[in-house]
Structure 1
Amino acid sequence: MNTILITGATAGIGLAAARRFAQGGWRVIATGRRGDRLRALADELGDACLPLEIDIRDPESLAQLARLDPPWGDIDLLLNNAGLAPPMDDLQQADPAALNNAIDTNVTGLVALTRALLPKLIERTGAIINLSSVAATYPYRGGAVYAATKAFVRQLSLDLRCDLAGTGVRVTSIEPGMVETEFTVVRNRGDQAASDALYANMNPITAEDLAETIWWIATLPPHLNINAIELMPVSQTWAGFTVAREA
């Protein structure tokens, strides 16, 4: 039986992935900061799930994950899903604490956890799937720091492939467009109406769509590596140029 470790498993893509992999017969190490949700997920998935209340920004918490005993310590796939975005303020008006929180979660924590688990993933000839974003490629106003963190994740994934050459470990960057989850509610400071308005009448990607994509990548023959995959809803495309005109 294979084992996946999922960060940010309490909602959205991480939660959907936990359910999909448990359905597929995998052990699921579900991590996140909201213990009540993790316990509910463990009740739902039963013995297939190990819930661990972990803050990816805490180095000691991450070190615990590298010291798990078998069979849970035999990790075959790391899904770096935990992430967040600060509010969509222009950088000159943005709250520094919100920016640093995004960097600590999306970049610093992801790197620390990945590095801590690499020995086991190499031993198991495992895989790493990182959640990036189309924001890594296409800029938009108010997204500077979030987009930069996702560009980091994308480039880290590609360069990690170089570092892992010859080990058999696969690395993939998944770069989705508009996905309707709690992510946007959090970004809009808890404003559900703002999130609903963003996704109204446009048929966005769902968390379950991405869980199926992650499952497909994870279950490909081991000699194949998806370096990066970008996906959008059909109704989403790229923005036009913005022009500031003189009065």
Structure 2
Amino acid sequence: MSETTPDQRSPQPAPPEQRSPEQRVAVVTGASSGIGAATARALAADGYRVFCAARRFARVHELAAEIDGVAVGCDITNADDVALLADEVGGHLDLLVNNAGGAVGQEPLGEADLEAWHTMYTTNVLGTGRVTKALLPALLAAEGTVVFVTSTAAEAAYEGGAGYNAAKAGERMLARALRLELCGQPVRVCEIAPGMVHTEEFSLTRFDGDAERADSVYTGVPDPLVAEDVAEAICWVAARPPHVNIDQLTIRPRAQAANHKVHRIATP
């Protein structure tokens, strides 16, 4: 559920008639940290007015103030929150970055916490679908672009990853089905699939705040990706000419040849 009440969620954006007709509009979900926050900053630097959407309103409020964007308290699993987001954005949206999601736990199937699986499916698949559905009319009106931030977890299974593998593979199918459904319509549907990205919260959330276990994911890995690497890729995809659709872009650190093949150096 959302952590804010409706009257606290967002300063009102300028009405459409007061916005520059040249200014592009973007929505970034999960913008309170990591890839989402980095993407919001990068898009603002590229000239977008960015709606920064996340459950943690205080964080996105601070980010929006920094980049002259709009903060929206939005839990993508909550239909009312998503309806509010669509109302605030209005009828014109150039770019939607479906970034909100995440992983919870890494137990083998025989020991799986299925409630954690439910959380991952509800956010990565149902929440992403809900946001996309709500904002699709505005994207069509603007001849816009949707970018789904999935994961290399959608490509290949790994031990302990079944729940997250399934959720991200499900999100990938949203992107692929939508692209087929919109064939002939003026909306691009793109996917970015990052590999190992060392952000301040992803693994910490996955391992329920266990900092030592979270840090061990990246131990000995020389130069894992950082959030800004993925943000740069998202901006590049969005900046292609309107007739160019980047169906899928996989981005990994050089040290990661595959989900199961990672170069690590010895640490003291």
How many equivalent pairs are there?
A: 236
Aligned-pair distance for 1:69?
Answer: 5.8
- Contact between 1:153 and 1:173, CA under 8 Å: does it hold in 2? no
Given candidates 69, 76, 79, the residue that maps to 1:56 is: 76
Would you say the 8 A contact 2:94–2:139 is kept in 1?
yes
User: RMSD of the alignment, in Å?
Assistant: 1.3
What is the DSSP-based 3-state SS (H/G/I as helix, E as strand, rest coil) of the residue aligned with 2:148? strand
Which residue number corresponds to residue 183 of structure 1?
A: 202
Instruction: Return the letter of the residue paired with 1:162.
Output: L
Query: What is the rounded CA distance, in whole Å, between the counterparts of 1:96 and 1:155 in structure 2?
Result: 21
Distance 1:190 1:204 in 2: 21
Counterpart of 1:200 (choices 206, 211, 219) is 219
- The amino acid of 1:3's aligned partner reads V
Listed as ranges, the gaps of 5+ residues in structure 2 are 1-22, 262-268
- The answer as to whether partners of 1:79 and 1:130 remain within 8 angstroms in 2 is yes
d(CA) in 2 for partners of 1:43, 1:195: 30
C-alpha separation in 2, matches of 1:197 and 1:43: 34
Distance in 1 (CA, whole Å) between partners of 2:61 and 2:134 is 25
Amino acid in structure 2 at the alignment position of 1:103:
Y
Contact 2:34-2:227 at 8 Å conserved across structures = yes
* Alpha-carbon separation, structure 1, partners of 2:108 and 2:89: 46
CA positional deviation for 1:195: 2.1
Which amino acid is the alignment partner of residue 148 of structure 1?
A: A
**Could you tell me how far 1:66 is from its partner in structure 2?**
1.9
What does residue range 40-119 of structure 1 map to in structure 2 within 5 Å? 40-45=62-67, 48-68=68-88, 70=90, 73-119=91-137
Q: Which segments of 5 or more consecutive residues in structure 1 lack a partner in the other structure? A: 241-247
Paired residue type of 1:168: P
In structure 2, what residue type is equivalent to 1:206?
V
- Residues 6 and 18, structure 1, Cα contact 8 Å, conserved in 2: yes
Distance across 2 between alignment mates of 1:162 and 1:138: 23
Superposed CA offset, 1:56-102 (max 9, x none)? 110111111222265xx521111000011120012232222211111
| CA shift digits 1:181-205 (9 cap, x unpaired) | 1111100111222222221332111
Moved over 4 A (4+): none
Match of 2:59 in 1: 37
Provide the C-alpha distance between the structure 2 equivalents of 1:49 and 1:221, rounded to a whole number of angstroms.
25
Per the alignment, residue 175 of structure 2 pairs with 157
Deviates more, 1:218-227 or 1:111-120: 111-120
**How far did residue 167 of structure 1 move?**
1.1
Alignment partner, residue 4 of structure 1: 26
Shift of the 224–139 alpha-carbon distance from structure 1 to 2, 3 Å rule, reads same
Local SS of the residue matching 1:88: coil
Contact (CA 8 Å) 2:29, 2:54: kept in 1 or not?
yes
Kindly provide the amino acid, as one letter, of the partner of residue 19 in structure 1.
Answer: R
Q: Residues 56, 143 of structure 1: CA spacing in aligned structure 2 closer, same or farther, 3 A cutoff?
A: same
CA distance in structure 2 between the aligned counterparts of 1:69 and 1:51, rounded to whole angstroms: 11
Deviations 1:18-59 (A, max 9, x none): 1001111110000111122112112312xx310011111101
The partner residue of 2:140 within 118, 122, 126 is 122
3-state secondary structure, aligned to 1:237: strand
Whole-angstrom CA distance in 1 between matches of 2:210 and 2:79: 31
